[in-house]
Chain A
Amino acid sequence: MPDQTIDYEGLIPGYKFPSATYELSESFVSKYLKAVDSNGDEFVPPLAMTACAIATMTKSIPVPPGTIAIHASQDLEFLKPVPVGATIECHIGVAQKIGRGKMSMLILEVEIFDKDSEKVQSGRATVALPA
């Protein structure tokens, strides 16, 4: 997982966060299922993969001290069930940055691929950040 932050001013349309690879091991999935208070089966809950992708991004965004980032909306499309034990690669890029007074709305494009480079999930997240 990447653990580097980027310059806040660098969050402009076209910017790509460093991609991150996650192994969706049985222990990861059971930890996730415990957190969401749910039962599992042979497939990874699709939102567990989205959570990995979102974490890739939130770890890299240098929110100014004392301020907060708010997840405002989320669009998702699931393309393929992913079995427990699979490895995924998450890609996130900045699609738009819209200034709104003291806040910026960052629209991020999310894509998740399996080990065969087949897309298993895509989506868009809108995050409100201090401008």
Chain B
Amino acid sequence: MLAEIQEGKALDPVVKHITQEKINLYAEASGDFNPIHIDESFAAKTPLGGTIAHGMLGLAYVSEMMTSAFGEGWLSSGKLRAKFKEPARPGDTLTISGKIDCIEQKDGVSYANCNFECRNEKGEMIVTGEAIVKFSSARK
């Protein structure tokens, strides 16, 4: 977890390599077998031109970063708002990064407002969004 929660603090980034095997594993684990993710011949005929990772796979990496930073606080009070901008594809290396934008106090409770993004190795934005999490002031 973050030793100190303060405005401007960067969250430890998460880096993941996407493969078709991982996408297939995610399909099996989640039960989402949409052919755009797993059927290469079907996907090749669509405007996307090939298989893409589930959006929720990228978001799982964001949640991993938030859990690493805020621990159980993320599981019990986390909120996120994410937009899937571009699909992640097999072969992509994704870097998920984030920062604490501001800290707010409401009714004696501290909230860390964070932004996050997920980009591929070409710098293209895959997922972007904001997250809020409650934390104990003792951790500031």
Give A contacts to B, CB under 8 Å.
1, 28, 31-32, 34-38, 43, 45-48, 50-52, 54-55, 58-59, 63, 66, 68-82
Contacts and interface: CB of A to CB of B under 8 A. Distances in A.
A81 B72 CA distance: 7
B22 interface: yes
A112 to B, nearest CB: 13
B79 A58 contact: no
Contacts of B59: 47, 50, 74
Which secondary structure dominates where chain B touches chain A?
helix
Interface in B68-106: 72, 74-84
Interface residues of B, number: 36
Contact of B30 (A34, A52, A77): A52
A77 B60 contact: no
Interface in B4-63: 16, 22, 25-26, 28-32, 34, 36, 45-46, 48, 54-57, 59-61, 63
10 contacts: A45-B63, A51-B30, A51-B60, A63-B34, A68-B46, A74-B59, A75-B82, A77-B79, A79-B76, A81-B75
Given A36-B57, A66-B45, A74-B80, 15 more contacts: A32-B30, A36-B64, A47-B63, A51-B32, A51-B60, A52-B30, A54-B56, A58-B32, A68-B34, A71-B56, A75-B79, A76-B78, A76-B79, A78-B75, A78-B78
Interface of B: 16, 22, 25-26, 28-32, 34, 36, 45-46, 48, 54-57, 59-61, 63-64, 67, 72, 74-84
B85 to A, nearest CB: 9
A100 to B, nearest CB: 16
For chain A, what secondary structure do more than half of its interface residues adopt (helix, strand, loop), or is it mixed? mixed
B30 A55 contact: yes
B83 A73 contact: yes
Which of A35, A43, A74, A77 has the largest count of B CB atoms less than 10 A from its CB?
A: A35
Contact of B84 (A47, A73, A76): A73
Contact of B81 (A28, A37, A75): A75
A81 B31 CA distance: 22
